[in-house]
Every structure is written in C-alpha cells, then in structure tokens.
Amino acid sequence: MKQIFVRPELCMGCRSCEIGCEVQHSKDKTLFSAVLQSPSPSPRLFVEAAEDIKMPVICRHCEEAPCLNGCISGCLYRDEKGFVRRKKERCIGCWSCMMLCPFGVITRDKEKRIAVKCDRCHKLDLPACVSACPTGALQLVDLDEVPKEIRSRAVLSGTSAYRS
C-alpha cells in the first residue's frame, strides 16, 4: 500500500501542505474559500518546529489506531483502503479520540462539535498535502520499495509502540 512519507531534512517549514489541506477540505476547494470560510477549515496536519527540526506531523492511519479503538460512538472506522475515517453523523464530540492520538493530529470543529482528522484525501490519487509540498518533504511511496534501513528509522524515538 502507498503511504505518505515525511522527510524532515527536506522541510523548510513553509506550511504549503497545511494550506493544501485546508483548500481540499474547504467548501468549494479554492484557496479563496479556504481563506474566507468562517470558521476557517482547520488543517488536518501541522507543521511543527523544535530547536533543530521542522516537519509536518501527520496522521499515520495507525495499524492499531488508538483513536479508532477508543472511539465510543462508532464514528471512527477503517475503510476498505485501510484509512482511518469518520462517519461524521455518528460523532458526539466526546474527544476521546483526541485524548488518545499520540501524534496530536485530531482537532475539534468547535461549531459542529465534532472531531476533525485526516481522511488521506481518499478520493484523490495524490493527497493534497503531498501535491502542495514544493520540496518533497512529503512523498507518497510504496512502503515495500523503501529501503529497510530508512523504514526502520521511521520508528521514532520516544513514542510507544503504535506501529504504522
């Protein structure tokens, strides 16, 4: 299965991915509507920066997804492509998923009071964030084609065993 790879060493912190995501999830999918829409469509990934590193933090559609396993309403489910998605009408805004996502990539739609998360642009060939990234810091790749040593480095230090 193709997955989104993040390469922090290529990230300039320009936030094009966030804007691409907002546009894709705005009402008529234009930058104009994304800017004017109120409340503005929240991005579903976040460019974060620490002292010596910048990178987009993105939903990993975890194999054992804490958000999905802990959802108390049946709103979150795994679709046929393996993506963790929402059945919006089932969400009751209990924020359990937010309490459980170890990557901090679930946000709240404060107006509708429902959880917002990455849907992997399941209708597009290329996710909007990947299309928008000018440097290749976000790439869609076939996991099997990524050399093993790069993949093994994808296990990030300091997080517990939520495999992706």
Partner 1 sequence: MRHVIIGGSIAGISAAKAIRQSDPSAEVTVLSGEKARPYYRPMIPFLIRKGDIDITFEGDLEKRYGFAVAYEKAAGIDVAKKEVRLESGRNISYDRLLIATGSRPVVPAIPGIRGEAVFTLRTAQDARSIGKSAEKARSAVVLGGGLVGIKTAIALRKAGLGVTIVEKLDCILPGKFDRRGSEIISNIVEKEGIRVLTGISISEVVRAKGELRGVRLSSGDTLDAGMLIVAAGTLPDLDIVKGTGIRTRTGVLIDENLRTSVPDIYAAGDVVEYTDLVFGRSAVSALWTNAEEMGRLAGRNMAGGKAKYEGFLSVLNSSEIFDIPVMAIGLVEPDPLSREYESLVEDNVDSYKKLVFKGSVLVGAVFINDVENAGIYTNLIRSRMQMGGLKEEAIKGSLRYINFIRTVPEQTMSA
Ligand X SMILES: Cc1cc2nc3c(=O)[nH]c(=O)nc-3n(C[C@H](O)[C@H](O)[C@H](O)COP(=O)(O)OP(=O)(O)OC[C@H]3O[C@@H](n4cnc5c(N)ncnc54)[C@H](O)[C@@H]3O)c2cc1C
150 contacts ligand X (rule: CB under 6 A): no
Return the beta strands (E) in 70-137 as ranges: 76-78, 84-86, 107-109, 114-116
Options 2-10, 19-27, 34-42, 92-100: segment touching ligand SF4 (CB under 6 A): 92-100
Other Cβ atoms less than 10 A from the Cβ of 26: the count is 18
Q: Which is nearer to ligand SF4, 34 or 75 (CB)?
A: 75
47 contacts ligand SF4 (rule: CB under 6 A): no
Q: Is 77 helix (H, G, I), strand (E, B) or coil?
A: strand
Q: Which is nearer to ligand X, 72 or 143 (CB)?
A: 72
Two structure tokens written together for 79: 């679709």
Long-range CB contact pairs, 109-113, < 8 A, 24+:
109/39, 109/42, 110/39, 111/39
- Report the residue from 31, 49, 92, 155 that binds ligand SF4 according to the rule CB under 6 A: 92
Kindly state the smallest distance separating residue 22's Cβ from partner 1, in Å: 17
Binding to ligand SF4 in span 109-138, by CB under 6 A: 114-115, 117
Kindly state the smallest distance separating residue 103's Cβ from ligand SF4, in Å: 4
Q: Is 149 helix (H, G, I), strand (E, B) or coil?
A: helix
Question: Which parts of this chain interact with ligand X (CB under 6 A)?
Answer: 72, 94
